[in-house]
Amino acid sequence: MSEQCDDAVLADLPPERLLASDQLGPIKAGIQCMDSIEMIQEYLAYETKHQNRTPVQHQLRLRARELRRADCGSTGGGYDSKTRRTL
């Protein structure tokens, strides 16, 4: 997904809307649509500040890990240690 698609997700499902649900299923589905570490960081920061639910934070971190692994496999690179520590 491109940055433009991430912007569309943010516009349609900003953190306060997606993370307002009490059901993990819809939240997990929204998280799987995220394709950038920056977006995940934004949602993780919102969740930590507002509801601080461990299962939601865990799903966000898992998605970030998936993206890092996919990036390492496709480019041979990865994210710097600062980005890894924040997720």
Q: How far apart are CA 10 and CA 67, in angstroms?
A: 18
> Residues near 61 by Cβ (< 8 Å), separated by ≥ 6?
44, 87
Which range of residues forms the domain containing residue 63? Answer: 3-86
And the tokens for 44?
A: 């993780």
Per the structure, the count of domains in the chain is 1
Per-residue pLDDT of the chain (87 residues; tens, 9 = 90+): 456 666 666 678 889 999 999 999 999 999 998 999 999 999 999 999 999 999 999 999 999 999 999 988 775 554 555 555 556
- Can you tell me which residue has the tokens 């997904």? 1
